[in-house]
Chain A
Amino acid sequence: MGSDTSNHASKFGFYLLLAPILLWLVVLIILPHVGLFVVSISEKVGPREYETGLGNYATFFGEPLYWRTFARTAIMSVLATALTLILGFPIAYYIAKLTRGRTKNTLFLMCMIPFWVSELVRTFGWMILLRETGVISTVLQRTGLISGPVELLYNDAAIMVGLVYTSILFMVVPLVTTLDSLDDSLIEAGYDLGGTSTSILREIVIPHAMPGIVSGCIVVFMLSLGNYLTPILLGGKDSLWFTGMIYTQFITRFNWELGSALGFLLLALSSGIVFLGLKLSKQSLSDTMGRT
């Protein structure tokens, strides 16, 4: 009897602790997606009249603007991820391996500080720098390097700068964590056995940091792909970002059916690319995300 009740109590405790995550998953993730999916497969045939069918998906594939934007978003996000990795790796390596104690904490904090400010404000910061009457343009004119004002906003490079800037922390943190766990004597052993900086980076450091690289890349890729603010503000109205297109369908066009379909395609796209990335790097999702 006694063990029975304590068994019940512990089970109850287990479910009680599990409840928040279950609620979060079911109410905020699963239910909306089920709803979205139901909406995405309904076609409007008349006022308040719907039929089940894949017409919305067919619209996507029939309209080049949609799938070209789709492909453009994917390619730009992959590119932004790669750039973030190339920029973030040296920073993370410096913080994790070449500094100690106080300096290390300070540098880590300095990476973190920009994130105390809202993303909107940070993006406006970039706009102040890049616009026609902005800081960079003015400085270039004053120094006489250019004769007239130059518009640096509203192009793909501006979007890329914004995306990399927004997501670099999410690359640096997992990289610092994995590089921190790399024993210095392994690097020394590499040199001792005749390795060069390049070969040690390739054969010892990167294989060790792989889980961190992959988890950083997944997070940065997801953030870039699903980013709405940065592409719209820095890329302007014609930024052609897929999230912008979904927004237009829902808010401007009141076409929830097509919007849902596009949303589902975005989900499929991100899952597909992450899956591909994991297969290529021979990592498993639980390994990489569980470690950081």
Chain B
Amino acid sequence: MSNTDPDLVCRDLTKDFDDFRAVDHVSFEVPRGSFFSILGPSGCGKTTLLRMIAGFQSPTSGDLRIKGKSMIGVPPNKRPVSMVFQHLALFPTMNIGDNVGFGLRQRGVGRADIARRVDEVLARVGLPGVSARRVDQLSGGQKQRVAIARCMVLEPDVLLLDEPLGALDLKLREHMKVELKSLQAAFNTTFVYITHDQSEALVMSDNIAVMNHGRFEQIGAPHEVYHAPDTAFVAGFVGDANRIDAKVAAVNGAMLTLTSDAGTKMKVEAAGAGLSVGQDAQVFLRPEAIELSTSKDSFAEDRNASQCTVNSVLFNGANSSVIVRDAAGNLISVAMPQTGTIADLRAGDTVFTGWRPDKARCYPAAGA
């Protein structure tokens, strides 16, 4: 076995509940030392998948291997994985040191050795000398780090994280994102992280799997998932996007001409979308892919340009956006250019929008 073997391999993993398939033939590999996120809306089966990896649920079919060894039938206390629970599950009846040392005690490690390793790992997560404190004396972010330390002290092959940032407030969550990523780099352990928050997944992950209805829609690096989504679901779920329902009017190689349901014509470069003339399609367009201008002439020939009216301006610092209404009456969200060229937009103003055909993504409409 070479050193580049993946730490975690799932093959056709399926989990059926009474009348409902929670996880449907999921296959993936997580390379050693990487940060892997499973991103999906609530109820998509990501928690079930994680609990199968941890061993709390057994798959209906399929195989699950950690470091090359099949984990089917292995109870959670015998698996080389540790889990950071959604609400952390720190033991409130024990102090921090006993919490972190719990796993080592179960392994029968000597008392002095436990104390040394607990102090060591607490120092590594940036909380030296808190051993004697009670759980309720720590802040949210500190508890988070204790929960990670409690797992890392056991040196697991894979660390599972079940939306651990969900309970934190926004500022702290932003901070912990960066910190989790650097902790992962420091420990060089394989992290499997599940979340419904796309920004968490995009910021921290080496690879993201987007999950919906028990299936993986796409597995890829954050930029691939963001810029080249495989399916309409991924395009709509990861990042903001304007969705336009349209019908294919003409196909010219990779270049499609579509007519939106409201009658606007547009060109989209979509190689391999497998669309033919007359088919219903969905076009996804990122707000930052749309340029704004006060005159139509400023756009190059190949742009999809149209005249719009400003519906509202949503000021949010660097993330400000403008909602415009096109001639057909559709509302389109456009990112406000940060160059300050058109900073004084008011509701009711007339603007022109333009976007490059290769900036949009086009998929067959659902059910088509």
Contact of A194 with B93 at beta-carbon distance under 8 Å, contacts A183-B87, A185-B86, A189-B85 already known: no
CA distance A274 to B94 in the complex (A): 25
B83 touches A189 (CB 8 A): yes
Contact partner, A188, options B56, B102, B103, B107, Cβ 8 Å = B56
Q: Are B93 and A188 in contact (CB under 8 A)?
A: no
Tell me if A122 is interfacial: C-beta within 8 Å of chain B: no
Select the stretch in A56-64, A107-115, A200-208, A233-241 that faces chain B: A200-208
Alpha-carbon distance A164/B58, docked complex (angstroms): 40
Q: Once the chains are docked, how many angstroms separate the CA of A5 from the CA of B350? A: 67
Q: Can you name the residue of chain B whose Cβ is closest to the Cβ of A206? A: B93
Indicate if the CB atoms of A208 and B85 lie closer than 8 Å.
no
With contacts A185-B85, A192-B82, A194-B106 known, what are 11 further pairs, Cβ within 8 A? A183-B87, A183-B89, A188-B85, A188-B89, A192-B55, A192-B56, A193-B102, A194-B77, A195-B106, A196-B77, A203-B94
Assembled-state Cα–Cα distance A172/B94 (Å) = 25
Cα distance, A204 to B99, chains bound together (Å): 10
Are B154 and A193 touching (Cβ within 8 A)? yes
Chain A residues within an 8 Å CB radius of B68? none
Residues of A within 8 A of B154 (CB): 193-194
A-B contact pairs, 28 of them (CB 8 A): A185-B89, A186-B91, A188-B56, A188-B85, A188-B89, A189-B83, A189-B85, A189-B89, A190-B91, A190-B102, A191-B55, A191-B56, A191-B75, A192-B55, A192-B56, A192-B82, A192-B83, A193-B102, A193-B150, A193-B151, A194-B103, A196-B106, A199-B105, A199-B106, A203-B91, A204-B91, A204-B93, A208-B92
Q: Please, how many angstroms separate the alpha-carbon atoms of A199 and B78 in the complex?
A: 14
Point out the residues of chain B lying under 8 angstroms from A190, CB to CB.
91, 102
CB-CB < 8 A to A207: which residues of B?
A: 93-94
Interface size class of A (residues with CB under 8 A): 10 to 19
Interface membership of B54, Cβ < 8 A? yes
| Nearest Cβ on chain A to B30's Cβ, whole angstroms | 18
Flag if A191 contacts B93 (CB, 8 Å).
no
Give the Cβ gap from B154 to chain A, nearest Cβ, in Å: 7
- Whether B106 and A193, one on each chain, are in contact in the complex, defined by CB atoms closer than 8 angstroms, is yes
**Minimum Cβ distance to chain B for residue A274 (Å):** 23
Give the distance to chain A from B157, nearest Cβ to Cβ, in Å.
13
B76 located at the interface, meaning its Cβ lies under 8 Å from any Cβ of chain A in the complex: yes
Tell me how far the C-beta of B109 lies from the nearest C-beta in chain A, rounded to whole angstroms. 11
When distances are taken between beta carbons in the complex, the residues of chain A under 8 Å from B77 are 191-196
A185 cross-chain contacts in B, Cβ below 8 A? 85-87, 89
Residues in B neighbouring A183, C-beta threshold 8 A = 87, 89
CB neighbors of A among B141-162 (8 A)? 150-151, 154
Question: Most chain-B Cβ atoms within 10 A of its Cβ — which of A186, A193, A194, A196?
Answer: A193
CB contacts (< 8 Å) of A189 on chain B: these are: 83, 85, 89, 91
